[in-house]
Amino acid sequence: MSTLDRSQAPAPARVHPFTFPEVQRSRLANGLELFTARHGTVPLATARIVLDAGVTREPAELGGVAHLVAHTIDAGTTHKDAERLSWELELLGAQLEVSTGFDATAISVTAATDRMPQALALLCEMVTEARFPEAEVKRVRTEQLGEIEQRRSDPRSLASDQAIRFMYGSESVYGRSALGSVETVQRLTVGDVRSFYHDRYAPGKAALILVGALDGAAIDTAHECLSRWSSQPAPVSAPNYGPSVTSARVHIIDRTGSVQSEIRLGHAGPSRADPDYFALQVVNSILGGAFTSRLNLNLREKQGFTYGVRSQFAFRRGPGPFIISTAVASEVTARAIEETLREVDLLSADGPTEEELQNTIDYLTGIMPLELQTTDQLAGKLSELFVYGLSDDYFATYRSRIAAVTREDALRAGRQHIKRVLFTYVVVGDPGGIEEPLKSLGIGPVEVHSANE
């Protein structure tokens, strides 16, 4: 006992193998895809209906309609009004969750296994028989307008919203907020809501994902109520991703009195289907994805400029954004951007070291079982299979594809997909002390905008 040597990190023990949960895949006669996976030891299950009803399916003039439809899906059905629906769901202890992304909308319930058949029947009823009463639609539309207002006064949301606006421009669907704008949301009518629902909520373009401690009753309920669903999806046109930005620009959003600058920088990135997807997971983790990323070790642990900095590729069907995000004390705004660019340049010049590459592969492959503990986490993963049309063995082979990334892959993919000459910079802060230092950086023309633009 007394011979314990603390000076060396202990070696790992024998590996306990991890296998991705087994997924059953089938299709109902009406086209609905069904994914089921038994998972976990807690008596709980999640049912998620994924619909091809994301923001990219909205006509530009109806920005925010996808969100409004999803958030009024529980506003009433043929048989029940809003209050009755929420009462029945909540009396079961069921948690309803709604999310509207660019590529899809998901509506989920999570409930204890023995209450799942009833919760699932209510979920099906809402999704297949929604009625959108006018008073409820108007009320939720007001809430949505309130949320848009809230995002303007919150520097974090304001910075993110303005960053994509300037990166993509007003023509692009990716330049919009999923909430829409005040102008478009104010004009949304009950007719717009009903027709978006009618066109986009259809079994031929939807999936049901059922995971957790499942029993036959839940699966039978799903078959029974979703088999009756018969609406047809309307044809869609290709989304407009807008023109590419061709030069770097700096946009200061005036928030006089701010004690911090919220900084976003980046540009349009590759799509989810890009073959560099795996290499870019590695590159991003090294640059700004992990806690021990180059950016965080420099800006936080070395300089103390920030509480944290992160980079991210938002992989979507189209060219989703690559964004670096941080918040720094106002007086170090320009220096923080300078250090960020130094790290971007270094990685682009030399790529990762062999040690960094191996550490990152270990991290990305090792973390997978940790992130698959809950029914909700697994349902989220399985949604990707449907939304992005991934192969059945995608998750089973994910770790070996990450492990196969080489230094050369990382170097090439990094250079190809992170280009600082195209960066759009957005800084939400007090222009007083930051405008001149930002101009001195010489990274692009600097403009100051009002927050209400």
Partner 1 sequence: MSLELDIQFERFTLDNGLRVIFSRDPTSPVVAVNLWYNVGSKNERPGRTGFAHLFEHMMFQGSANVPETAHFAYIEKAGGSLNGSTWLDRTNYYETVPSHYLELALWLESDRLGYLLPAMTQEKLDNQRDVVKNERRWRVDNQPYGDWDERVQALLYPPEHPYHHSVIGSMEDLDAASLQDVEQFFRTYYAPNNAVLTLCGDFDPVSARELIARYFGTLPRGPEIPPLPGRIEVPSKLGEARREVIEQDITLPRIYASYRIAPYGSDAFYPAIVAAHVLGDGKSALLYRELVRSGLAQDVFAFPFPIVLGAAVMVTWTTANPGTTAERLEKALRDATAKLEQVDAQDVERAIHLIEASRLMDLQQVEERADALSMYETLFGDPGRINTELNRIRQVTAGDVRGFADEYLGSDNRVVLVYVPKVGE
Which residues from 98-127 bind partner 1, rule CB under 8 A? 110-112, 114-115
> How near is the Cβ of 134 to partner 1 at its closest, in Å?
13
What does the per-residue mask of binding to partner 1 show for 67-96, with x meaning CB under 8 A? Answer: -------x-------xx--xx-xxxxxxx-
18 binds partner 1 (CB under 8 A): yes
- Nearer Cβ to partner 1, position 83 or 345? 83
Binding footprint of partner 1, residue count (CB under 8 A): 87
Residues 357-376 that bind partner 1 (CB under 8 A): 359, 362-370, 372-376
Alpha-carbon distance of 379 to 124, in angstroms, equals 17
| Of 327, 2, 371, the residue nearest 159 (C-alpha) | 327
Per-residue b/e over 312-324, b at no fewer than 16 CB within 10 Å?
A: bbbbbbbbbbbbb
> How near is the Cβ of 338 to partner 1 at its closest, in Å?
17
> How near is the Cβ of 395 to partner 1 at its closest, in Å?
14
- Nearer Cβ to partner 1, position 246 or 452? 452
- Nearer Cβ to partner 1, position 361 or 446? 361
Out of 67, 294, 300, 317, name the contact with partner 1 by CB under 8 A: 300
> How near is the Cβ of 161 to partner 1 at its closest, in Å?
14
Alpha-carbon distance of 143 to 113, in angstroms, equals 33
- Nearer Cβ to partner 1, position 150 or 400? 150
Residue 106 one-letter amino acid: A
- Nearer Cβ to partner 1, position 155 or 319? 155
Helices marked H in 37-189 — which ranges? 65-71, 82-91, 116-128, 134-153, 155-168, 182-187
Alpha-carbon distance of 423 to 266, in angstroms, equals 5
Q: Check residue 306 and give left, alpha or beta (phi > 0: left; psi -120 to 50: alpha).
A: beta
Helices marked H in 22-96 — which ranges? 65-71, 82-91
> How near is the Cβ of 245 to partner 1 at its closest, in Å?
28
> How near is the Cβ of 404 to partner 1 at its closest, in Å?
17
Alpha-carbon distance of 253 to 361, in angstroms, equals 38
- Nearer Cβ to partner 1, position 30 or 374? 374
Structure tokens at 283: 């590159």
Give the count of beta carbons closer than 10 Å to the beta carbon of residue 219. Answer: 18
- Nearer Cβ to partner 1, position 167 or 263? 263
- Nearer Cβ to partner 1, position 77 or 172? 77
Pair 259, 329: CB distance under 8 Å? yes
283 binds partner 1 (CB under 8 A): no
- Nearer Cβ to partner 1, position 91 or 349? 91
Give the DSSP letter of residue 133.
-
Give the count of beta carbons closer than 10 Å to the beta carbon of residue 412. Answer: 15
22 binds partner 1 (CB under 8 A): no
Structure tokens at 416: 């190809």
Angle at 205 between CA 200 and CA 208, to 5 degrees: 110
Per-residue b/e over 326-361, b at no fewer than 16 CB within 10 Å?
A: bbbebebbbbbbebbbebbeebbeebbeeebbebbb
- Nearer Cβ to partner 1, position 182 or 248? 182
Residues 375-394 that bind partner 1 (CB under 8 A): 375-376
What does the per-residue mask of binding to partner 1 show for 132-171, with x meaning CB under 8 A? Answer: -------x--xx-xxx-xx-xxxxx---------------
> How near is the Cβ of 73 to partner 1 at its closest, in Å?
12
Alpha-carbon distance of 159 to 451, in angstroms, equals 10
Stretch that binds partner 1, among 12-20, 61-69, 123-131, 192-200 (CB under 8 A): 12-20
| Of 221, 185, 159, the residue nearest 55 (C-alpha) | 185
291 binds partner 1 (CB under 8 A): yes
> How near is the Cβ of 367 to partner 1 at its closest, in Å?
5
- Nearer Cβ to partner 1, position 181 or 365? 365
Residues 207-266 that bind partner 1 (CB under 8 A): 255, 257-260, 262
Residues 304-343 that bind partner 1 (CB under 8 A): 304-307, 327-329
> How near is the Cβ of 337 to partner 1 at its closest, in Å?
15
- How many helices, marked H, and strands, marked E, lie in the chain? 16, 12
- Nearer Cβ to partner 1, position 74 or 161? 74
Residues 396-435 that bind partner 1 (CB under 8 A): none
What does the per-residue mask of binding to partner 1 show for 39-58, with x meaning CB under 8 A? Answer: -xxxxx--------------
| Of 172, 242, 228, the residue nearest 29 (C-alpha) | 228
* Burial (Cβ within 10 Å: 0-12, 13-18, ≥19) of residue 149: exposed
